Structure 1
Amino acid sequence: MSNEWKAPEKAEGEGKSWQLLEKVLLASVQEQRRSRRWGIFFKVLTFLYLFVALALFSPRFDIQGGTSRGADHTALIEVRGMIADKEAASADNIISSLREAFESKHTKGVVLRINSPGGSPVQSGYIYDEIRRLRAEHPDIKLYAVITDLGASGAYYIASAADAIYADKASLVGSIGVTAATFGFVGTMDKLGVDRRIYTSGEHKAFLDPFQPPKVEETRFWQGVLDTTHRQFIASVKQGRGDRLKDAEHPELFSGLVWSGEQALQLGLVDALGTASSVARDVVGAKDLVDFTVQESPFDRFAKKIGASVAERLSLWAGFQGPVLR
């Protein structure tokens, strides 16, 4: 009989339970490690995404040309679409871009690349005045307007403040005039048997109401407002272009007609044919273009399209529209 001690043997069922528990614990540990690795992966991915987004939208990086604002360059500012408050081509946005471009110590010249049908005479006037102020403040930096597809009305108003205007031979240029559009629903309301009831304090408070017939004296007054704005537009163009206008007394020059780039060159509305790139390379002497245009966030663009702009368009369609340079 041996005195050696022996561990009691485990029952068969108990051994299987321990093996199962061991497998469960090992699987849990592996799952935790896997989750931790995926968590690290997604955190790194998010960090890289934010880093790239910040780099791409940084004002010190030009996404188009890859040129830093720390090197000599030609500043590019886009004037695209309607010139109006709260639009991409608002006076606030364009003026902010202009000031930043002129104040950059590496800017050798500024190009306004224009593709716009015009818009508000007030917004256009603000930009025109600021261009002339900045040109006087920074005489060594020239500003050139380059018209692509369209530079009409208020867009040409802005361009006329530049040191020189360039366009393509097929660009549409000019449209130096003023318009204010509305509708008349009086006949429609008569057919429908609808009465218009409006209450005002002031004899002419509702003179733009499209649901009432126009009055002769009010139409004459409104035409006077448009004529005054037109004279201001003409005076600004003559001041900006000076002797470069070949025939400032041309009977149709300020009639609201639009001209091709080739015709505009003959009339003195533009100085030469060219593009933003050719002006930067051959005129400014700094071929690298750096975009100083104020960029809207995707959220702002979405909100504008869905929200405020809808209400604004409805008000314009209903006839509540001020003068527009066209």
Structure 2
Amino acid sequence: MLNPASEHEALGILKQYLTVYKRTNYGKLSLLGGIILLGFLGNIVGFFTPSESHIAVIQISGEIGADSDVGDGQKIATHLLDAMTNDESSLIVIEANSPGGSPTDSQTINELIVQYKQSNDPIDTEVAKNILSVIKDPTTPFNENFESDIDVKTQPRKLIVAVVTKQCASACIQSIINADVIIGQRASLIGNIGVRLSSINWSELAKKVGVTSTVITSGPYKDMLSPWKAIDEEQILIAKETLIEPVFEQFKSDVIAARADKLKINYDVLFSGLAWTGDDAVKTGLIDATSNPVIVKSALEKIIGDDYKIYSKSSFSLGSFIKNPFK
């Protein structure tokens, strides 16, 4: 596959041609043909390029559940599965920056990690500790003669390291909670564990302006929490008991199962919806250490002896291009 920087530069040149030829059908066809050719050439080059040992990087960015390669839970899990089953990937890094989102999407990611760990023998716990010690060592990024005695490639499975940048809240926590090592930045926003259901109600406004809505339902709760109806406390209670609490219990169960031996905070506080900085998240046991993505990348590449390879960028798709050629 073409180098991302080169591909971005090539696309930039093609976009410039668009400004010159956009008023002619010939220019439009030329632009279309050029981008399609660029995409196919990238795929062909990637197909014939020998695979090399690498650190697989999977990105979670923005709202979880969004229709994007780094937001959709199924796409993220698919990239994870590719990394897990690729003999050339030596370690898996999940880069996370998300305010949360869909619980079903976060469960898709989390459950894949859980099953992967359950299907293999446990890794040596000292490996994770040693990796953390190297990351915390301020000399690591500048040590050109660094030699690692940390044995990662012969472990029964690949180590999974989650690296939080700006934030990892709510569903993002559920997505990465089963990583072997979780690292945040000192000022990262981490936590906000919980479930919410929002509903706008404009029934009073509609009454004032004389607007009504007629809804025919098969049962008394089919239009529950309709914005056209006055707020009904009974329906709010039912929604909490049937929708909020069950999903919340699933969320809590995942967090406790993953970090029970590391958590150092009262569960009532942990699951209250509070969020913490990275420094305080280490104290609560939600994450293992603080650093930053540049230092983590440098340390991991030196420890493993492999370079980062980002899995989250989709290869060229003619169908996707036709829908949005400049996405």
Instruction: Say yes or no: does 1:292 pair with 2:311.
Output: yes
**Structure 1 residues 36-74: Cα deviation after superposition (integer angstroms, max 9, x where no partner):** xxxxxxxxx99997665445567949xxxxxx7722211
Listed as ranges, the gaps of 5+ residues in structure 1 are 1-44, 62-67, 306-326
Match of 2:65 in 1: 84
Code of the aligned partner of 2:102: S
TM-superposed CA distance for 1:112, in Å, is: 0.5
C-alpha distance 73-277 of structure 1, shift in aligned 2 (>3 A): farther
Give the Cα separation in 2 of the matches to 1:85 and 1:56.
26
1:183-234 deviation line (CA, Å, top 9, x unaligned):
1111101110122221111111111211101222211111112122112111
Matched, 1:141 2:158: yes
* Residue 187 (structure 1) aligns with: 204
| RMSD of aligned alpha carbons | 3.0
Match of 2:97 in 1: 115
For 1:23, the equivalent position in structure 2 comes to none
Query: 1:304 deviation in Å?
Result: 7.7
Quick one: distance in 1 between partners of 2:213 and 2:305?
62
Cα-to-partner distance string for 1:259-301 (whole Å, 9 max, x where unaligned): 1111111111110113445444435524510011152769748
Instruction: Select 1:102's aligned residue among 71, 78, 84.
Output: 84
Q: 1:257 Cα shift?
A: 1.4
State TM-score, norm by structure 1: 0.70
* Counterpart residue number, 1:255: 272
Q: Secondary structure at the match of 1:180?
A: coil
Q: How many residues align?
A: 255
Residue 234 in structure 1 maps to residue 216 in structure 2: no
Q: Which runs of 5+ in 2 are unaligned?
A: 1-30, 121-155
Deviation at 1:145, TM superposition (A): 0.9
- Equivalent residue of 1:183, what SS? coil
Map 1:19-168; keep pairs closer than 5 Å: 53-54=39-40, 56=42, 60=46, 70-84=51-65, 86-88=67-69, 89-137=71-119, 139-168=156-185
Tell me: CA distance 1:59–1:293, structure 2 relative to 1, closer, same or farther (3 Å). Answer: farther
Does structure 2 conserve the Cα–Cα contact (< 8 Å) formed by 1:145 and 1:162? yes
The equivalent residue for 2:214 is 197
* SS of structure 1 residue aligned to 2:260: helix
SS across alignment from 1:178: coil
Does the aligned pair in 1 maintain the 2:97–2:164 contact within 8 Å? Answer: yes
Q: Percent identity?
A: 27
Structure 1 CA distance, aligned partners of 2:321 and 2:101? 19
**Contact 1:59-1:292 at 8 Å conserved across structures:** no
Distance 1:219 1:229 in 2: 16
Contact residue 93 and residue 294 of structure 1 kept, 8 A = no
Instruction: Give the secondary-structure state (helix, strand or coil) at the position aligned to 1:255.
Output: coil
Secondary structure at 1:115's aligned position in 2?
Answer: strand
Give the Cα separation in 1 of the matches to 2:45 and 2:173. Answer: 28
The verdict on how the C-alpha distance between 1:209 and 1:303 changes in structure 2, with shifts beyond 3 A counting, is farther
C-alpha distance in 1 between matches for 2:283 and 2:260 = 15
Q: Which residue of 2 aligns with 1:323?
A: none
Q: How much does 1:108 deviate? A: 1.1
Among 238, 244, 247, the residue aligned to 1:221: 238
- SS of match in other structure, 1:99: helix
Distance in 1 between residues matched to 2:164 and 2:283, nearest whole Å? 16
Amino acid at match of 1:77: I
